[in-house]
Amino acid sequence: MKVAILGNGQLGDMMRQAGQRIGIEVNLLDIDNDELPGDDVIITAEREHWPDNAFTSALQGHPGWLNRAAFAALTNRQKQKAVLDELDLPTAPWCIPEVGMTQADLHQQLGPDIFLKSASGGYDGRGQQRLRLSEPKRLPDWFEDAVAEQAIIYDTEVSIIGARNAQGKVVCYRLTENRHDHGVLTMSLSINASDRFSALQAKAKQMLNQVMEALDYIGVMTIEFFVVGEQLLINEIAPRVHNSGHWTQAGASISQFELHIRAVCSLPLPQPEQPGASMMINLLGTKYDQKWLDHSASQLHWYGKNWRPGRKMGHLNFYHQERQHLARWLADLDLPASYAPARAWALARLQMTE
């Protein structure tokens, strides 16, 4: 059995490694210039955005290309919001800006604090602009190809990651709590079933099931939520493996990367075991340093990218049966000064009493 993945970034590479471990040949496809795989190859993707060129157009007509309907529905924010409304799933109040609309018009419709997000492309805070009633701004050139959302005052952000196979079976990981800085994920925490999100788990899984079933999706999908009291509001959906699921490499019996390969290949799809507590730290704009190997419990995943400020260069995973061990390790970990707010955020949660 062979799998090809559109995109040759770190997510694709980690799926390739996971497939190799379980005996599945996985090849990465260069988005800009590659050859079409044979008709017997299953084709999936590590990303939801790609250029419209001769290769990607031909690929979507390949008999092994999965999730045509899902990519068409989810890779554009306007269409994604429409799908959520059709499924009656909760999200922030939103609208599509109309020609001639002003910032004042948007505030009248959505309130004094708004996020303007480009309809296509844009991730890790890119392609977004915050609009406050008290701060009039020049609207961006992409204003008419955007989604305007009410800014939500939320308690925290969480994500659920699950996989569905062609037979309709779905398995999920527990909710992961996430910390973003400047629109980029900095840390993720996953704590066992006694944690404070256990009451929201069933709600999140039901929403994920509903989206995957409606789109007949096969593979791993991620939904990011805002937690507002006892309510979950869907922020965004990613039809792929996700940064907030990297902890599964250390803290689950089956990683999200292997789970995706299993799902698309119709291999056994058992519920992953997730004992204990896990922590993932994104290494943002850091250069390679052997100190990441000094800690006896750290698992370093280095992506081998060319360095630039703020770029995701790799990540660290930590796992222990007891969350207090993660707190001690994090308190002692040598991190750049810019991580101080994220470290304090994570320590507060890891040191919580039941």
Whole-number Å distance between alpha carbons of 39 and 83? 31
Q: Are residues 228 and 168 in the same domain?
A: yes
Q: Are residues 284 and 341 in the same domain?
A: yes
pLDDT of residue 196: 75
pLDDT over 70, % of the chain = 97
Q: Are residues 333 and 189 in the same domain?
A: yes
Structurally, how many domains does the chain consist of? 3
Q: Are residues 125 and 175 in the same domain?
A: no
Q: Are residues 134 and 58 in the same domain?
A: no
pLDDT of residue 120: 82
Residue range of the domain that includes 218:
156-350
Give residue 122's pLDDT band: very low, low, confident or very high (50, 70, 90).
low
Last residue within a domain, chosen from 10, 45, 65? 65
pLDDT of residue 332: 93
The predicted model gives 277-296 an average pLDDT of 94
Q: Are residues 106 and 51 in the same domain?
A: no
Residue 185 lies in a domain: yes
Last residue within a domain, chosen from 150, 173, 190? 150
The predicted model gives 80-92 an average pLDDT of 97
Determine which of 40-49, 86-95, 115-124, 145-154 has the lowest per-residue pLDDT on average.
115-124
Residue 71 lies in a domain: no
Q: Are residues 42 and 117 in the same domain?
A: no
The predicted model gives 131-137 an average pLDDT of 90
Q: Are residues 136 and 168 in the same domain?
A: no
Residue 141 lies in a domain: yes
Residue 88 lies in a domain: no
Residue 124 has pLDDT above 70, yes or no: no
Select from 199, 198, 295, 208 the least CA-distant residue to 250.
295
Q: Are residues 189 and 302 in the same domain?
A: yes
3-state secondary structure the chain: CEEEEECCCHHHHHHHHHHHHCCCEEEEECCCCCCCCCCCCEEEECCCCCCCCHHHHHHCCCCCECCHHHHHHHCEHHHHHHHHHHCCCCECCEECCCCCCCHHHHHHHHCCEEEEEECECCCCCCCEEEEECCECCCCCCCHHHEEEEECCCCCEEEEEEEEECCCCCEEECCCEEEEEECCEEEEEEEECCCCCCHHHHHHHHHHHHHHHHHCCCCEEEEEEEEEECCEEEEEEEECCCCHHHCCHHHHCCCCHHHHHHHHHCCCCCCCCCCCCEEEEEEEECCCCCHHHHCCCCCEEEECCCCCCCCCEEEEEEEEECCHHHHHHHHHHCCCCHHHHHHHHHHHHHHCCCC
Q: Are residues 205 and 127 in the same domain?
A: no
Residue 82 lies in a domain: no
Residue 128 has pLDDT above 70, yes or no: yes
Residue 278 has pLDDT above 70, yes or no: yes
Give residue 211's pLDDT band: very low, low, confident or very high (50, 70, 90).
very high
Whichever domain contains 39, its CATH number is 3.40.50.20
Select from 91, 245, 265, 88 the least CA-distant residue to 172.
245
Per residue in 289-306, pLDDT tens? 999 999 989 999 999 999
Q: Are residues 212 and 337 in the same domain?
A: yes
The predicted model gives 7-24 an average pLDDT of 96
Residue 178 has pLDDT above 90, yes or no: yes
Last residue within a domain, chosen from 18, 47, 65? 65
Whole-number Å distance between alpha carbons of 153 and 223? 18
Residue 60 has pLDDT above 80, yes or no: yes
Residue 78 lies in a domain: no
Residue 319 has pLDDT above 60, yes or no: yes
Q: Are residues 46 and 137 in the same domain?
A: no
pLDDT of residue 354: 57
Give residue 168's pLDDT band: very low, low, confident or very high (50, 70, 90).
very high
The predicted model gives 90-111 an average pLDDT of 93
Per residue in 235-255, pLDDT tens? 999 999 999 999 999 999 999
pLDDT of residue 353: 63
Give residue 125's pLDDT band: very low, low, confident or very high (50, 70, 90).
low
For the full predicted model, state whether its pTM sits above 0.85: yes
Q: What token pair was written down for 58?
A: 């031909």
Whichever domain contains 108, its CATH number is 3.30.1490.20
pLDDT of residue 144: 81
Per residue in 181-198, pLDDT tens? 988 999 999 998 556 788
Residue 326 lies in a domain: yes
pLDDT of residue 51: 86
pLDDT of residue 131: 94
State the chain's mean pLDDT as an integer. Answer: 93
Position with higher pLDDT, 352 vs 67: 67
Residue 124 lies in a domain: yes
